[in-house]
C-alpha cells in the first residue's frame, strides 16, 4: 500500500513475519536521513505481573510457564530461583543438574526452530521455512528432528514439551529414573552430530557486512556455560550480582509501545546467544571450539546476522551438556527440597534462549505473592533492535520499498524476538518525508 503527498511518502507493508507476537515497525525517513525508528509492541507478557499478585508461590511456576510457548522453562527457572532466594534454599546436586538439563532441552528446541525455520530462509532466499523445505527437505527434516530432541528432554523432565508442569520451587514434582534418561541418549548422540553439521551449514551462508558497537550482557559463571546462575557481566566491564540488576538496568515507557524498554545506564545493550557466546567462550566444549576453528570462525562475533552461528553453537553445547548430565545422573533422594515459607523479596536471572530473564518477587508470611516484576529478554533488546535498524537503514534507502521492508525484517529476526504469544504479524511502515 502506498500513499503519496507532496511532502511525505508512507509505505505500509502487511506481512506475515517470522517473529513472535503482535508488533509493528515504523521508520521515518527524511531525505537520506533516518529520522525515527519505532518498534511498536502491543501485547507484551507483562500483565502476568498483575496476574501473579495474590497467588500462592506454589502456583507461580505453572502461571509463568504460560507467558511463552517457546521458552516456558526460562520463566519457570527464573521464578523458582527467585522464590528459593526468599526461602533461603539452594538447590544442589542432581536437582541442579536436572534444571540445567531441562534448560538444555529448551535451548535446543527454541534455537533449532529459529535456525532452520525462521532465519535460514533469509540467507537462502526463501520467503518461509515451508518454501525452503521444497528445495531443502533434508535440511528442514534435520532441523525438525533436532527440535524434537529438545522436546524429548522437556517432555521427560517437564511432563510435556509445552508449558511443562513438573517444575516446582525446591525441585521437581517428579524426577526421572536413570534408565529413562538413558533412553534419550541415542537420539541425543545423533543430534550432537547434526548440530556439528548445523554449524558447518550456517557458517557457509553469505552475511552482510554489519558490525555495530554492542555492549553485550550475559550471565557468567566461573565454572560453566551459564543457565541458572552467575553474575551479570557486560562487555563494557560491568560486573554485578543479580540482586543489583535494578540499580543498573532501568525500564522506561515509550509512547508508541505498550512494552517497556530496558536500558543499561540509559543506553541500549544486547542480550542473547551472541552476547552469551562472546562473554562465555572459554566455557564452550572442546568440540564446539574445534568446530568453530575448523570453520575459521573467530570469537567474539560482532555481526548481529551471526546470531544464527551463535545459536547453532549453543545447540551443540546444549547437546553435549545434556549427554554429560545424563551420563553422571544419579536420582536425587527427594524430588524437591522441603520449603519453609518466610516473607521476603527475592531476585533471579537466568539465560532464556533469547537472553537474560530477570524476575523479582515479594511474598508475605503465608507465601502469597505481593509483587512480581519480570523483565524479558526481548524487552531488553528492543532499543538495540531500533538502534540496529537506524544504522542499517541508510544502505536500504535506494531499494524499492518492499525490498527495504524485507531487509528490515531480516535485521529484526536476527534477535529472534518473542514479543508475545498473542497474534502474529508485523505491520511494517516506512514513512518517507521529503528532505529540506
Which C-beta is closer to another protein: that of 129 or that of 230? Answer: 129
> In the bound complex, what is the minimum distance in angstroms from residue 382's beta carbon to another protein?
17
**Helix H or strand E encompassing 37:** strand 33-41
- B/e letters for 236-246, b = 16+ CB within 10 Å, e = fewer, are eebeeebeebe
Q: Residue 431 pairs with which residues in a beta bridge?
A: 10, 28
Q: Name the one residue in this structure whose C-alpha cell is 516484576.
A: 373
Strand 23-30 with 33-41, pairing? antiparallel
> In the bound complex, what is the minimum distance in angstroms from residue 130's beta carbon to another protein?
5
Which C-beta is closer to another protein: that of 126 or that of 205? Answer: 126
* C-alpha–C-alpha distance, residues 11 and 403, integer Å: 12
Binding region for another protein (CB under 8 A) = 16-21, 69-70, 110, 113-114, 117-118, 128-130, 133-134, 137, 140-141, 144, 147-148, 151, 160-163, 418, 421, 423-424
Helices 286-294/185-203 angle, 10° precision: 30
* C-alpha–C-alpha distance, residues 167 and 188, integer Å: 22
Cβ atoms of 61 and 158 within 8 Å: the answer is: no
> In the bound complex, what is the minimum distance in angstroms from residue 119's beta carbon to another protein?
10
* C-alpha–C-alpha distance, residues 269 and 281, integer Å: 19
> In the bound complex, what is the minimum distance in angstroms from residue 424's beta carbon to another protein?
3
> In the bound complex, what is the minimum distance in angstroms from residue 167's beta carbon to another protein?
17
Strands (E), 213-366: 217-220, 231-234, 239-240, 249-254, 257-264, 344-352, 355-363
Report residue 391 as a C-alpha cell: 544504522
Which C-beta is closer to another protein: that of 126 or that of 207? Answer: 126
> In the bound complex, what is the minimum distance in angstroms from residue 298's beta carbon to another protein?
30
Which C-beta is closer to another protein: that of 140 or that of 181? Answer: 140
* C-alpha–C-alpha distance, residues 313 and 309, integer Å: 6
SS3 236: coil
In terms of Cα–Cα distance, which of 110, 117, 179 is closest to 151? 110
Which C-beta is closer to another protein: that of 111 or that of 384? Answer: 111
Which C-beta is closer to another protein: that of 291 or that of 315? Answer: 315
Which C-beta is closer to another protein: that of 378 or that of 380? Answer: 378
> In the bound complex, what is the minimum distance in angstroms from residue 332's beta carbon to another protein?
29
Which C-beta is closer to another protein: that of 140 or that of 262? Answer: 140
> In the bound complex, what is the minimum distance in angstroms from residue 55's beta carbon to another protein?
12
Amino acid at each position: 500500500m502506498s500513499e503519496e503527498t507532496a511532502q511525505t511518502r508512507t509505505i505500509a507493508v502487511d506481512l506475515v513475519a517470522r517473529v513472535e507476537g503482535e508488533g509493528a515497525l515504523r521508520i521515518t525517513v527524511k531525505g537520506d536521513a533516518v529520522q525515527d525508528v519505532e518498534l511498536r509492541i502491543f501485547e507484551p507478557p507483562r500483565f502476568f505481573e498483575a496476574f501473579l499478585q495474590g497467588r500462592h508461590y506454589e502456583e507461580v511456576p505453572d502461571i509463568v510457564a504460560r507467558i511463552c510457548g517457546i521458552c516456558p522453562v526460562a520463566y519457570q527457572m527464573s521464578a523458582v530461583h527467585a522464590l528459593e532466594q526468599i526461602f533461603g534454599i539452594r538447590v544442589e546436586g542432581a536437582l541442579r543438574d536436572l534444571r540445567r538439563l531441562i534448560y538444555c532441552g529448551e535451548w535446543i528446541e527454541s534455537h533449532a526452530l529459529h535456525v532452520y525455520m525462521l532465519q535460514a530462509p533469509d540467507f537462502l532466499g526463501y520467503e518461509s521455512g515451508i518454501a525452503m523445505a521444497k528445495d531443502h527437505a533434508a535440511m528442514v527434516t534435520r532441523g525438525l528432528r533436532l527440535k524434537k530432541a529438545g522436546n524429548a528432554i522437556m517432555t521427560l523432565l517437564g511432563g510435556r514439551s509445552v508449558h511443562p508442569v513438573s517444575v516446582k520451587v525446591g525441585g521437581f514434582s517428579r524426577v526421572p529414573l536413570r534408565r529413562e534418561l538413558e533412553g534419550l541418549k541415542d537420539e541425543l548422540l545423533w543430534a550432537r552430530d547434526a548440530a556439528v553439521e548445523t554449524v558447518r551449514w550456517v557458517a557457509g551462508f553469505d552475511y552482510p557486512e554489519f558490525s555495530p558497537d554492542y555492549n553485550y550482557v550475559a550471565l557468567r559463571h566461573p565454572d560453566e556455560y551459564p543457565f541458572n546462575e552467575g553474575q551479570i557481566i557486560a562487555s563494557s566491564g560491568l560486573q554485578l550480582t543479580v540482586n543489583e540488576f535494578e540499580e543498573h538496568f532501568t525500564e522506561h515507557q515509550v509512547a508508541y509501545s505498550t512494552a517497556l524498554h530496558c536500558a543499561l545506564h540509559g543506553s541500549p545493550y544486547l542480550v542473547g546467544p551472541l552476547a552469551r557466546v562472546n562473554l562465555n567462550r572459554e566455557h564452550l566444549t572442546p568440540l564446539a571450539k574445534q568446530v568453530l576453528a575448523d570453520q575459521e570462525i573467530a570469537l567474539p562475533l560482532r555481526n548481529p546476522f551471526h546470531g544464527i552461528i551463535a545459536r547453532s553453537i549453543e545447540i551443540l553445547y546444549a547437546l553435549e551438556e545434556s549427554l554429560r548430565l545424563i551420563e553422571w545422573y544419579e536420582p536425587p533422594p527427594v524430588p524437591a527440597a522441603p520449603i519453609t515459607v518466610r516473607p521476603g523479596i527475592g531476585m533471579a536471572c537466568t539465560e532464556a534462549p533469547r537472553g537474560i530473564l530477570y524476575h523479582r518477587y515479594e511474598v508475605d508470611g503465608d507465601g502469597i505473592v505481593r509483587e512480581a516484576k519480570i523483565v524479558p529478554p526481548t524487552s531488553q533488546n528492543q532499543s538495540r533492535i531500533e538502534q540496529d535498524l537506524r544504522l542499517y537503514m541508510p544502505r536500504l534507502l535506494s531499494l524499492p520499498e518492499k525490498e527495504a521492508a524485507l531487509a528490515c525484517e531480516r535485521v529484526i529476526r536476527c534477535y529472534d524476538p518473542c514479543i508475545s504469544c498473542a497474534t502474529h504479524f508485523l505491520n511494517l511502515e516506512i514513512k518517507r518525508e521529503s528532505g529540506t
